[in-house]
Structure 1
Amino acid sequence: MDLNCRTKLQYVALFFALLGCVLTCVSTFVPLWRNLNLDLNEMEIWNTGLWQTCVIQDEGPMECKDFESFLALPIELRMARILMFLSDGLGIIGLIVSCFCLDCLKINEKYTKKYLALFGGALFWLSGIAALVPVSWIAHDTVQEFWDETIPEIVPRWEFGEAMFMCWFGSFFLLFGGSLLFCSVHPVTKQTTIRDQTKTIDSGLLYDTATLQNRCPDLII
């Protein structure tokens, strides 16, 4: 793999990982995981997230109420809070670690950048999986409740909110960024190595010829 191609691959990997980390961090705190539109009262739209429930009125401000007790929450919300915090932390640490594996930085250790790239890619993968689990879990419960035949049709049903799609895209971007970072660890090809050796030999020959001319000018015709 050419050095310029590897550098570009590293930048693309960091871009997607940064985008995924931003999306997962935003989706952690916004109350837009599920929404509820009441057919009997179209003036109100209910939104709920991991931390609070909000109601949006057509001609009034949005009012929110925080969840009072962590232990009183359903198991999926409790696990979602823990896993989303874990995902955000791993993503931020992965970005910091991956910045040190860029080719534009000069590090004396020969294999340091390789290990940093592998470690950063692994952190991105763990961050993406940690965000993918809770959003898929809540989405599964939402679908089960929406198609529950025991609930009368007149009762409003919760549906997917914007934050769930943000979390899905963020987790996929983190996984994609980690995969690209793994690909950037591929060693330099032989063609590049031979080219560098040829340049070294040519420069060495020029140096030797110049030295010989200075020492023995009568021997050079």
Structure 2
Amino acid sequence: MAKCGAIGTALCVVATVGILYCVSSRYWKINSQVASQQVNRGVASYEGLWVRCMSYIPGVFQCDRFDNSYLGLEASLNAQRAMMVIASICAAGGLVAGCLGLDCIHAIRGKQKMYSSRGGGVLFFTASILTLGAVSWYAADVYREFDIDEQIGTSFSYQFGTALFIGWIASGLGLIGAVLVTFCNADDDDDDEYYAPRKTEAYGGHGSRATEYI
């Protein structure tokens, strides 16, 4: 069971790195060099949750933060931002709680260790679901926009960026890790009490004394 929990925690560590990358990444969608208009095929353009950039000259990028207040942005983008921020907080908290539940960590013991491990699993399950929902929602928006752009022949047509693929992988690893962390300590209910050896003395014939440890 200890090995199972360690594997789950390791998966959660990798998933946390992936989730944090997604939150900060600028590559949620990138312009398609094939589908974009011929005149714009040498132009690089990409967007993330917080920043969008464009490069007319290789290596030189012009970036902005969407040049709008939060109230002026699309509701879907604000919702995706919120989901990823909450996912990051849940992942960090779940990782700490899951590590405290490992057998090699002696900060807590017994049922507290079990509850910490299961709480970490629940937090990480929540983080993974939120990440999966955010990247899938964003991908659906990109796919819908791509169809519309091709029909009307807009200057730029966007496709999935690397952040979406990493988000899907991170959420999958996180779900597996959450299950392992949650249920690997399911049999640790009796570890709450610490049984120290107790010495009893029994007196036999001729004044002999026997000592037994239980």
- The ranges of structure 1 where at least 4 consecutive aligned residues each deviate by more than 4 angstroms after the TM superposition are none
Q: Does 1:83 align with 2:83?
A: yes
1:86-112: CA deviations, max 9, x gaps? 000000001111111111233675311
CA distance in 2, matches of 1:66, 1:106: 45
Higher strand share: 2
Number of aligned residues: 192
1:8-51: CA deviations, max 9, x gaps? 11111111111111111111111100011343233211000111
Q: Is the 8 A contact 2:149 2:156 kept in 1?
A: no
Counterpart in 2 of 1:110?
110
Cα gap change, 1:100 to 1:149, in 2 (>3 Å): closer
Query: TM-score normalized by structure 1?
Result: 0.77
Counterpart in 2 of 1:18?
13
1:155-212: CA deviations, max 9, x gaps? 5321100111111111111111101112312327xxxxxxxxxxx9xxx9xxx9xx99
CA distance in 1, matches of 2:108, 2:28: 47
Aligned CA-pair RMSD:
2.8
Cα gap change, 1:134 to 1:151, in 2 (>3 Å): same
Q: Any idea what SS the aligned residue of 1:156 has?
A: coil
Counterpart in 1 of 2:174?
174
| Uncovered stretches (5+) of structure 1, i.e. residues with no partner | 1-5, 189-199, 217-221
- Greater gyration radius: 1
Counterpart in 2 of 1:197?
none
Counterpart in 1 of 2:63?
64
Q: Any idea what SS the aligned residue of 2:151 has?
A: coil
Aligned-residue identity in percent = 25
Q: Is the 8 A contact 2:28 2:46 kept in 1?
A: yes
Question: What does 1:118-133 align with in structure 2 at a 5 Å threshold?
Answer: 118-133=118-133
Counterpart in 2 of 1:33?
28
CA distance in 2, matches of 1:70, 1:105: 43
- Residue 15 of structure 1 aligns with an amino acid whose one-letter code is A
Shift of 1:154: 6.0
Counterpart in 2 of 1:196?
none
Cα gap change, 1:82 to 1:149, in 2 (>3 Å): closer
CA distance in 1, matches of 2:179, 2:80: 24
Q: Is the 8 A contact 2:135 2:167 kept in 1?
A: yes
Counterpart in 1 of 2:194?
none
